[in-house]
Amino acid sequence: MKTRFDELSAFVTVARAGGFREGAKIAGQSASGLSDAIRRLERRLGVRLLHRTTRSVAPTEAGQRLLERLTPALAEVESALDVINTYRDRPAGTLRLNVPVSAIRLILPDIVPRFLTAYPDIRLEVIAEERFVDILSAGFDAGIRYEERLERDMIAVPIGPRVQRLAAAAAPAYLERRGRPEHPRDLLAHECLLGRFDSGTMPPWEFERHGETVRIEPSGPLLVSIGSATELALTSALQGLGIIYLFEDWLRPHFARGALVPLLEPWWPSFCGPFLYYSGRRLVPAPLRALVDFIRRDAAADASRQTPRKRSLSVRDRTVTRRSMPS
């Protein structure tokens, strides 16, 4: 039985994208062309691979099993073809990243325009998700996550600021109405704007000072999905609905113009910045290698502008390492 490569590629693209229209945007083809290719593949195999509705597309059981086998195989084919990139004057191709919304807001805006200007033959696709993702099986070249959320046995490259903080804040109107908390536990008596991961987990609000750690589970009038609905919580905080707990960098512009007031600043916890991570078990595609080198050059330039002590810390932090999920 002979099956054409373009039919297999069409099936994987549509199944990953969850629809023909979305798949067409990714593949740069027409939705009808992809649909025809998959119908030919289904006729050839004698089995339905996709459930089709007017709103979405999802693999059947047979389709899911085929997708699981095809994804790594097609990735190897793409890696083999990418070897040709080494003979080009500059790298070309598609680079697919899976990142949290915080990276889209705080990390990538400073990197993406400069990177794509430097490499005009690279097409970048960025998908924002907060959940754990197997980047290889999902068809991504790399991801961005924080250290405790990295996949097992991945090469991790520091990206963006190496130290970040979580901050509590509220609008002046809220503080006039409810008063200002003086200790993290005071937040239990305040209206707080909460977040929940897609898994259903609601992380506690954590504060640190002089070796003391305080974790609280506040309550409040609004609960949003972390990442996708964070802007709603921020807008609500700006309008005086309650206290928000978010990345300091996300809130800083609102501090600068007085729209939000920092709260409990001596207690704000700091943590290590994010990492770009990718598999060390496969050939690194040329577009990804270009991004890694670009990030490292940025890091070297930053380190050269720092004091000798900070520079030594920065160099160590930026060493590419293999990292595992904590048990």
Check the CA dihedral 136-141-143-147 and report its sign.
positive
Identify the pLDDT of residue 12: 86
Class of CATH domain 5-70? mainly alpha
Can you list the alpha helix ranges (DSSP code H) found in 179-256? 230-238, 248-256
Cβ pair 216, 204 in contact under 8 A: yes
Identify the pLDDT of residue 312: 40
> What letter represents residue 68's amino acid?
E
Identify the pLDDT of residue 317: 36
Identify the pLDDT of residue 326: 28
Taking every pair of C-alpha atoms in the chain, what is the biggest distance, in angstroms? 75
Q: How does pLDDT run along the chain (327 residues), one tens digit per residue? A: 455 788 888 888 888 888 888 888 777 778 888 888 899 988 888 889 988 876 778 889 898 998 888 877 777 777 666 666 665 667 888 999 999 999 999 999 999 999 999 999 999 999 998 877 778 777 789 999 987 667 667 889 999 988 999 999 999 999 999 999 999 999 999 999 999 988 888 999 999 999 999 999 999 999 999 988 999 999 999 999 999 999 999 999 999 999 999 999 999 999 999 999 998 766 788 899 999 999 999 888 877 666 554 444 443 333 333 333 222
What is the pTM (predicted TM-score) of this model? 0.69
> What is the crossing angle of helices 248-256 and 230-238, to 10°?
30
Length of the chain, in residues: 327
CATH of 88-160+273-323, one of 3.30.460.10, 3.40.190.10, 3.40.50.1360, 3.30.1330.10: 3.40.190.10
Can you name the CATH fold of 163-271? D-Maltodextrin-Binding Protein; domain 2 (3.40.190)
> What letter represents residue 65's amino acid?
R
CA distance 135 to 141: 7
* Same fold? 5-70, 163-271: no
Identify the pLDDT of residue 311: 44
> What residue ranges do the domains of the chain occupy?
5-70, 88-160+273-323, 163-271
Please enumerate in sequence order all residues whose Cβ is within 8 A of that of 156, keeping only pairs 6 or more positions apart, or say none. 147, 150, 275, 276, 277, 320, 321, 322, 323
Identify the pLDDT of residue 299: 84
Identify the pLDDT of residue 322: 34
> What letter represents residue 326's amino acid?
P
